[in-house]
A and B are shown apart, each in its own frame.
Chain A
Amino acid sequence: MKFIRNLISHQWSAWIVPIIVIFLWQLLGQNGLISQNILPTPLEVVQAFIRLSEDGTLLDNVGISAKRAFIGFVIGGSIGFSLGMINGLSKTLERLFDSSIQMVRTIPHLALIPLVILWFGIGESSKLFLVALGVSFPIYLNTFHGIRSVDKGLIEMGKIYGLHSFHLFTTVILPGALPSILVGLRYALGIMWLSLIVAETISADSGIGYMAMNAREFMHMDIVVLSILLYALLGKLSDLVAKFFEKKWLQWHPNYNPSHNG
C-alpha cells in the first residue's frame, strides 16, 4: 500500500496511466487481440518513425505542415490583433465594426470548406485561408477584451503623471492587456492545428496530412497513427512555446508567479 501511495505522489506520477496504456496496447496488439488493420502496435509506430526519418520524408512533411500553420497564424493573428486593438481603443470604430465581426465569427469556419475550395482551389492558399480565418477570431476577441479591461484607475494615474497617447499606450494599456492577449494566443494555437489538420485533408501533395492520406490508401496504418501522434506533438510543442512567453512576459502577475502572492 505504502509503495503505491509513494508512487502516486511522485513527480512523474502523471505518466503512470499513459505508460500502462501503452504497455497494454503493445501486449494486446502483439498477441493478435487487436487486428493489425485496426490499430498497429506502438513498436510498429516507432519503426515507421525511424524508417521515415531516415529517408528524410518525415522532416520534409513536418516542416511543410508547420510552415503552413505558422504562415496562416501570422496572417490571421495580425489581422485579429490589429482589429482588436483598433476596436478596443476607439469606441466609434467598435460601434461600426464589432457587430459585423461577431456575426462572421459565429460561422464555424470549417463549415466554409466547400466555399473555400471554390474560391481558392485546392492549393496552398485555401489551407492558409482556413488557418488564418480560424486563428483571427480568438485573437481579436481577447485583444479587444484585454484593452477594454485595463484598470481605469491606472489609466487615470498615467494621465495625471503626464503619460499621453503613445506612452500611455506602451506603458499602461498594452501591458495591461497582455495577459488577455496571451490567453487568446494559446487558444488560437489550438485552433491553428485543428484548422491545419482539416485543411490538409481537403487535398494535399505535401505535409503530414498528405503523408497520412497516402498511407491510408496503402493500408499503412502505422504511418497513419504516426501522423496523428506528430500532430499531437506539434500541438504540445507550440503550447510549450506559448507558456514560455507567458512566463517571461507575465512575471509580475500573481497567477503566473505563485511565489509572489502579496
Chain B
Amino acid sequence: MNSRPRGINLELERVEKSFRENKVLKGINLSIKSGEFIAIVGRSGCGKSTLLRLIAGLEPASNGRVIADGEAVESIHADARFMFQDSRLLPWKKVLTNVQIGTKTRSKIEAQAALSLVGLKDRGDEWPIVLSGGQRQRVALARALAGEPRLLLLDEPLGALDALTRIEMQQLIEKLWLQQGFTAILVTHDVSEAVALADRVVLIEDGNVALDIAITLDRPRRKDPRFSYFEELILDRVMGVQETNLIEFSKSKISRSM
C-alpha cells in the first residue's frame, strides 16, 4: 500500500447510449487525465449514472468509444473499482472477508490495511449487519481501495448518509485520493460535494456535456466566497435550464422530460 499507482487516463469519444428508443446519452466527448478528480453532476435521470457504468465497462456503449490508457473498454476493467449508493456488502461474510474480496489475491493483510485506512481496523471480525450505514459505506470504500485501483468510480455513494457522516466521508475520500493518486470519477447530485472534492465539474444535461469547468481552489477546500462562487455558477446553470424549459412549455412547444 506504499506505491502510488498511476491513475488511468480516459478518453470518451462521441459516446452514446440508448435504452430501446430512449437515447440517454447523445454524444459525450470527455478527456480525463491520469489522477484527476472529476465530479459529474446533473438532474435525476440526466444519464450521469449511465455514463459512469459505461466508463466502468458494466454496459456497452451504443455508439462511440471509451478508451482507458489507450485501449478500448469492452468489459469491466481490471484496475477499476466501483462504489455504489448502497454498500453492497455480503451479509454472510464478516467485514474483513468482505474487504478481502477487493484485494487482488484475497490477502488478509492487504484487507486489514485497507480497513485501517478507513478507520475501522478493529471491526474486521463483525457481521455487516451490526454496523451503521456510514460504517458500511466505509467498509465498501476499504473494499474498493484494497486492490490499489487506478480508477475509482463512485455512484452517489454518500447519498444515503446523514450530513455529518457525509462530510467525514468526503474528507476521507479526498485524503485517500491524495495519498494514492488514482483517477476518481464521482457522480453526485450534490453540487456542494462536487465543488468540495473535484478538480473539474462536468454537468450532464439532456444526454450532453453542458458544462465542464475547472475548480481552481486550493486544497484543503474551505467554504469561503470563492467556493460559493463556483457553487453558484454551477447551480445557476442547472437551475437556468428549468427557467428556459418553463418558457418553452408556456409557448406550447413539446415539453422535454426534466
Q: Tell me whether B56 and A251 are in contact (CB under 8 A).
A: no
Known: A160-B58, A161-B102, A163-B101. A252 touches B84 (CB 8 A): no
**Contact: A156 with B58, CB < 8 Å?**
yes
Question: B52-73: contact bitstring with A at CB < 8 Å (1 yes, 0 no)?
Answer: 0000101000000000000000
Name the residue of chain A whose CB is nearest to the CB of B131.
A262
Contacts of A253 in B (CB 8 A): 91-92, 129
Q: What is the bound-complex CA distance between A260 and B127, given in angstroms?
A: 9
Contact with B along A139-179 (1 / 0, CB 8 A): 00000000000000110111111110000000110011010
**Which secondary structure dominates chain B's binding surface?**
loop
**Bound-state Cα–Cα, A243 to B102, Å:** 33
Q: Verify B86–A153 contact, CB threshold 8 A.
A: yes
Given contacts A159-B76, A160-B58, contact A254 B90 (CB under 8 A): no
> Does B78 sit at the interface, judged by CB under 8 A?
yes
A85 to nearest B CB, angstroms? 18
Please state if A252 and B129 are interface contacts (CB–CB under 8 Å). yes
- Is A162 within 8 A of B91, CB to CB? no
Q: Which residues of A contact B58 (CB under 8 A)?
A: 156, 160
| Given contact pairs A153-B84, A160-B56, A175 touches B130 in the complex (Cβ within 8 A) | no
B90 CB contact (under 8 Å) in A156, A175, A251, A257: A175
Q: How far is the CB of B148 from chain A (nearest CB, A)?
A: 14
B213 to chain A, nearest CB (A): 30
Distance A154 CA – B98 CA, assembled complex (angstroms): 12
Which residues does chain A contribute within 8 Å of B132, judged by CB atoms? 262
- A158 CB contacts on chain B under 8 angstroms: 101
Q: Are A260 and B129 in contact (CB under 8 A)?
A: yes
How distant is B162 from chain A, measured CB to nearest CB, in Å?
16
CB B67 to nearest CB in A, in angstroms, measures 20
Size category of the binding interface on chain B: 20 to 34
Distance A210 CA – B17 CA, assembled complex (angstroms): 71
Does B143 make an interface contact (CB < 8 A)?
A: yes
Given contacts A175-B90, A252-B92, A253-B91, contact A157 B84 (CB under 8 A): yes
**In the complex, residue of chain A having the shortest beta-carbon distance to the beta carbon of B126:** A260
A257 contacts across to B, CB distance below 8 A: 129
Is A254 a contact partner of B129 (Cβ separation < 8 A)?
Answer: yes
The CA of A171 and the CA of B100, in the complex, are separated in Å by 12
A232 and B14 alpha carbons, distance in the complex (Å): 71
Which residues from A are CB-within-8-Å of B82? 157, 160
CA distance A92 to B127 in the complex (A): 36
A153 to B76, CA, bound (A): 16
Q: Does B88 contact A (CB under 8 A)?
A: yes
Q: With both chains docked as a complex, state the minimum distance between the C-beta of A252 and any C-beta of chain B, in angstroms.
A: 5
Do A160 and B127 touch (CB < 8 A)? Answer: no
A261 to B82, CA, bound (A): 28
Q: Are A161 and B127 in contact (CB under 8 A)?
A: no
Contacts A156-B58, A163-B101, A262-B131 given: A175-B143 contact, CB under 8 Å? no
Chain B residues, CB < 8 A from A178: 92
- Cβ contact within 8 Å between A172 and B129: no
Find chain B residues with CB under 8 A from A252 CB: 91-93, 127-129
Measured CB to CB, the closest approach of chain A to B141, in angstroms, equals: 13
Taking a contact as CB atoms under 8 Å apart, the answer to whether A160 and B76 are in contact is: yes
How far is A156 from B129 in the complex, measured between Cα atoms in Å?
20
Neighbouring B residues of A261 by C-beta, 8 Å: 129
Q: A160-B58, A260-B130, A262-B130 are in contact. Are A154 and B101 (CB under 8 A)?
A: no
Min Cβ gap B104→A in Å is: 8
B192 to chain A, nearest CB (A): 27
> Quick check: B129 and A162 within 8 Å, CB to CB?
no
Q: Are B129 and A161 in contact (CB under 8 A)?
A: no
User: Can you give 15 contacting A-B residue pairs, CB < 8 Å?
Assistant: A153-B88, A154-B88, A157-B88, A160-B58, A160-B76, A160-B82, A161-B143, A162-B76, A172-B90, A251-B127, A252-B91, A252-B92, A254-B129, A261-B129, A262-B128
The 3 closest A-B pairs by CB, nearest first: A157-B88, A175-B92, A262-B129
Question: Which residues from chain A sit less than 8 Å from chain B, CB to CB?
Answer: 153-154, 156-163, 171-172, 175-176, 178, 251-254, 257, 260-262
Residues of B bordering A, CB below 8 Å: 56, 58, 76, 78, 81-82, 84, 86, 88, 90-93, 101-102, 127-132, 143
Question: 11 other contacts beyond A160-B82, A251-B127, with CB at 8 A cut-off?
Answer: A156-B88, A157-B88, A158-B101, A160-B56, A171-B101, A175-B92, A178-B92, A252-B128, A260-B130, A262-B128, A262-B129
